[in-house]
Chains A and B, each alone.
Chain A
């Protein structure tokens, strides 16, 4: 019990003194996950909007597939990206394996379906309300898309936050493709896993506290935004 208390105090000390290693890890985590969300948004939002507004054969099937992909197991994504990027793999020449770039790729694959599926849902809901009015004002279906995205901006922000929450807390994919290399590819989740297994609880606890704070803030932001949306959707 005494050791736990001392580990805890050490953890606090690490956070408060701004330990270089600790904050390096936090910053890398944020950089990797934010990059993944940015790329995921660039791909997922147009994809979701197209699925919401377009009318083409196979659309329903794609929607079902996308919803299913929201639950993609990170470990499997990690494995697939590993196979792609490993020296013998099709993208091996890029030399990305065990770099932050590989981690961004893996997390992008995890968050893109989430962002796309939520965007589809949000844009489709708004379109049900706007479609006739926009058509009446002379907008084509294609021209309606930016209007729907802009007017759905608050709900779409919650979709991005949901993607970010998933990415920042994910461990299975980044540990496989990043390799958890000190000062290179160590992020919060992988460091917690490693340091705990080594018995270095202070660093693990400090990172855990920061990760929880980020996760709770994101969830709180999502629900706050959701609450503010209430009247606007009436």
Chain B
């Protein structure tokens, strides 16, 4: 089934979640006693709206502090996602009010690259995302799909070891989706640990090595992708695949 093959160097970064709990407005929105991200990846997080997928990603990336529990990357307690070499693409892309190229330059400038190297890298990234002709356009005037592509390119520009993507192709047409999936597969094959949230089961089939199914703030099932799609271990998994799982 996996027509976008992920092979090559395997993701080596390991993430351990222990006894994670998070409440919002007096309601428990995350309860993850134990979760390990290892193996080659990518990992796809599936689950109905409001299941806690985005919140889990935010916790894993160190953007919000959990109420209790720990998140460790390669055995070290995670404090700042950026400092741990992580990058994230948000469900709603946040682009700076600058040109397309300047959004990339903003990130590259922080890496103390020389001007020429930076310009070259910007050109490469724009080429990769099919945005070469839009370099000087204000980023905020991009279409939804273009904006999402730029957000992914900007995350890549940080040279991450771990890349979180929250519904990276939800606004994209099929051609752009295929392009992004190829990009994600290539990133993963370079040893980056990729964790993506998606509602596109086909995409999870094509890309993911393992599947996390979330429901009501909990991990209902974490299985190898092949096994999950062939025969889910849990009732939640069966319901989800048949389109009947609700929060």
Distance of A151 Cα from B99 Cα, bound (Å): 11
Interface string of A106-143 (1 = CB under 8 A from B): 00000000000000000000000110110111100000
Interface string of A211-234 (1 = CB under 8 A from B): 000000000000000000001101
Kindly identify, within residues 54 to 106 of chain A, every residue whose CB is under 8 Å from any CB belonging to chain B: none
Q: A231-B141, A232-B140 are in contact. Are A136 and B81 (CB under 8 A)?
A: yes
Interface string of B154-184 (1 = CB under 8 A from A): 0000100000000000000000000000000
Do most interface residues of chain B lie in helix, strand or loop, or is the interface mixed? loop
Contact of A132 among B90, B97, B107, B110 (CB under 8 A): B90
The residues of A that contact B83 with a CB separation of less than 8 Å are: 138
Q: Is A147 an interface residue (CB 8 A)?
A: yes
The residues of B that contact A130 with a CB separation of less than 8 Å are: 94, 96
Kindly identify, within residues 83 to 129 of chain B, every residue whose CB is under 8 Å from any CB belonging to chain A: 83, 87-88, 90, 94, 96-98, 106-107, 110
Is the CB–CB distance between B110 and A138 below 8 Å?
yes
Distance of A99 Cα from B98 Cα, bound (Å): 43
Kindly identify, within residues 176 to 196 of chain A, every residue whose CB is under 8 Å from any CB belonging to chain B: none
The residues of B that contact A136 with a CB separation of less than 8 Å are: 61, 63, 81-82, 87-88, 90
- Closest chain B CB from A64 CB (angstroms): 25
Is the CB–CB distance between A137 and B158 below 8 Å?
yes
Interface string of A143-165 (1 = CB under 8 A from B): 00001000110000000000000
Q: Is B143 an interface residue (CB 8 A)?
A: no
Is the CB–CB distance between B140 and A137 below 8 Å?
no
Distance of A135 Cα from B140 Cα, bound (Å): 20
Is the CB–CB distance between A132 and B94 below 8 Å?
yes
- Closest chain A CB from B156 CB (angstroms): 12
Number of interface residues of A (CB under 8 A): 14
Contact of A133 among B90, B110, B140 (CB under 8 A): B90
The residues of B that contact A129 with a CB separation of less than 8 Å are: 94
Contact of B82 among A137, A231, A232, A234 (CB under 8 A): A137
- Closest chain B CB from A158 CB (angstroms): 15
- Closest chain A CB from B165 CB (angstroms): 12
The residues of A that contact B88 with a CB separation of less than 8 Å are: 136
The residues of A that contact B58 with a CB separation of less than 8 Å are: 132
- Closest chain A CB from B105 CB (angstroms): 13
The residues of B that contact A232 with a CB separation of less than 8 Å are: 97, 138, 140
Is the CB–CB distance between A151 and B97 below 8 Å?
yes
The residues of B that contact A133 with a CB separation of less than 8 Å are: 90, 94
Q: Is B137 an interface residue (CB 8 A)?
A: no
Is the CB–CB distance between A151 and B82 below 8 Å?
no
The residues of A that contact B90 with a CB separation of less than 8 Å are: 132-133, 136
Chain B minimum-CB-distance residue to A133: B94
The residues of A that contact B158 with a CB separation of less than 8 Å are: 137-138
Distance of A151 Cα from B107 Cα, bound (Å): 15
Chain B minimum-CB-distance residue to A126: B97
Is the CB–CB distance between B81 and A147 below 8 Å?
no
Q: Is B80 an interface residue (CB 8 A)?
A: yes
Distance of A151 Cα from B138 Cα, bound (Å): 12
Chain B minimum-CB-distance residue to A151: B97
Chain A minimum-CB-distance residue to B141: A231
- Closest chain B CB from A137 CB (angstroms): 6
The residues of B that contact A132 with a CB separation of less than 8 Å are: 58, 63, 90, 94
Is the CB–CB distance between A151 and B96 below 8 Å?
yes
- Closest chain B CB from A127 CB (angstroms): 11
The residues of B that contact A137 with a CB separation of less than 8 Å are: 82, 87, 106-107, 110, 158
Q: A130-B94, A151-B97 are in contact. Are A135 and B63 (CB under 8 A)?
A: yes
- Closest chain A CB from B129 CB (angstroms): 17
Task: Provide a sorted-by-A list of 10 A–B residue pairs whose CB atoms are within 8 angstroms.
Answer: A130-B94, A132-B90, A133-B94, A136-B81, A137-B87, A137-B110, A138-B158, A151-B98, A231-B141, A232-B138
Q: Which 10 A-B pairs have the closest CB atoms?
A: A138-B82, A133-B94, A151-B97, A136-B88, A232-B140, A132-B63, A151-B96, A232-B97, A135-B63, A129-B94
Please give the residue numbers on chain B whose beta carbons come within 8 Å of chain A beta carbons, in ascending order. Answer: 58, 61, 63, 80-83, 87-88, 90, 94, 96-98, 106-107, 110, 138, 140-141, 158
Q: Knowing that A132-B63, A138-B83, A138-B158 touch, tell me 20 more A-B residue pairs with CB under 8 angstroms.
A: A130-B94, A132-B94, A135-B80, A136-B63, A136-B82, A136-B87, A137-B82, A137-B87, A137-B107, A137-B110, A138-B80, A138-B110, A147-B96, A147-B106, A151-B98, A152-B97, A231-B140, A231-B141, A232-B138, A234-B140
